[in-house]
Amino acid sequence: MTVASPKEIEIFFCYAREDENLRNELEKHLSILKQQGQIITWHDRKIGAGKEWEREIDTHLNTAHVILLLISQNFMNSDYCYSIEMKRALERHEVGTVRVIPVILRPVDWKGAPFSKLQVLPTDGKPITRWRNRDEAFLSIAEGIREAVQDFLAFQKTKEREYYENTIFSYFDVRNIQMPEDLVGKTLGTCRIESLIGEGGFGVVYLATQPHLNRQVAIKVVKSTFRKESSYSYSYDTINEDRHRLMLLRFDREAEAVARLDHPYILPLYEYQTSPLPYLVMPYVAKGSLADRIKASYYLPLPASEVATILSQVASALDYAHQQQLIHRDIKPHNLFCHHSGNILLADFGIVQFGDSDLLAPDPSMAPYTPSYASPEQHQWLKVDYRTDIYSLGIVIYELLCGKRPFEGRLTGGPFEIANQHLHTPPPAMHTFGVQVPPAIEAVVVKALAKQPEQRYQSAGEMSAAFQAAFYRNNI
């Protein structure tokens, strides 16, 4: 696969709306770089009608090669510019995936700001509005940006050369890959695998880098690829070929499912390849999952206001997936990722069901769900629909409010006891866990956890709306 440096460097303008006129002037002075085909520029005014603005900004903020911070008092006062866009820009700058350049538009005290360690423009950091001849100020900035663009292109060429040097002899024999750890240090396509970060029932996930794009990604490999597993004692040799083919087919269906989804609260798919082994390439979410956050907080309950926000986002993602005739079937905190923007991203469609069809015959040894979050119909191997996801989402919301799941098999801790609780036991009142949850909010969760699907909410959005209404009634 050919790896090439970008033909045009994308420049992202991070600015406050009050400074739009100065941004326009600066963009005009970069026209010669545009005409020479060296750069393209992007800012929020280029978002097309009907596009989701936050997602568009986030996409360009994470892919731009140069980010200009247009500094003024307006910028410093903007929570979005200062706390979200600038923070993400500096995170990328620290790992070397972008060049961040502060441009001082107006007089403001910026000493000690997070960007103050960077070289600023114009010359000597003199604000543009303090120059007698503003054209000279903009010329100073344009020359600095031209130099940064040339440096970046040179850096890209170096990375491209290193990529070829490091990967030309990196082909490996899949037959020599025995355990998940054996892939660390290998290269799949354009991705150099750095470390193993997680294993699930069907897949193994790695942290990888794409040197030619200067970004980190997550790679998921089907688990039955390996003859030995790092976390379990049994080997692939004990897995029959039919089961192996089924796992590969599910992997293929996961790629197909995620590829058809385009939603701000669903983790997207970058790439799917089948050679030298099947793997998915997805964004790497450094903040981890909701499960990681719960564990890091020592299982403390979250405030109802924060739970309402999480529920709203997950419900939006689920309703969208259900409209595409996709049933997730594995909603749990481990599959809800915490994006740096604060949003929650639904991930891992590894056991997705397409509409009414399913590939898996009843085989408890290969149960397509997580027992603690599975619906009663999943535990009974009955036909499921989108309401199974609403039940699992109810378990997640219960856990966020209480710090504990309602059904944990407290006597034996075994899956059969957990299944029996899901089938026959009402969820414990939340106050038994020492938390004070308003009765109206608790009632919403209890309805989502109804044993019969027809007694639950008939959409995730309906559940979220009921939760929001209960929350606001309690806070009036």
Closest CA to 282 of 221, 356, 373: 221
Is 381 in contact with 362 (CB distance < 8 Å)?
A: yes
Q: Which residues contact 401 (CB under 8 A, 6 or more apart)?
A: 301, 302, 304, 307, 430, 435, 437, 441, 442, 445
The partner residues of 66 in beta bridges, in order of sequence, read: 11, 99
| 396, two tokens | 């997640």
| 405, two tokens | 């799941």
Helix (H, G, I), strand (E, B) or coil at 43: coil
Angle subtended at Cα 329 by Cα 311 and Cα 464, rounded to the nearest 5 degrees: 20
The partner residues of 121 in beta bridges, in order of sequence, read: 103
DSSP string, 65-107: SEEEEEESHHHHH-HIIIIIIHHHHHHHHHTTS-EEEEEE-S-
- Active-site residue, selected from the candidate residues 330, 348, 356, 363: 330
Q: Which residues contact 90 (CB under 8 A, 6 or more apart)?
A: 100, 114, 115
| 339, two tokens | 């994006």
Is 271 in contact with 280 (CB distance < 8 Å)?
A: yes
Task: Give the integer Cα–Cα distance in Å for 41 and 22.
Answer: 15
Catalytic, 252? Answer no
- Cα 288 to Cα 178, 292, 333, 369, distances in angstroms: 27, 6, 10, 21
- Cα 457 to Cα 45, 122, 390, 443, 466, distances in angstroms: 39, 58, 7, 12, 9
| Catalytic (active-site) positions | 330
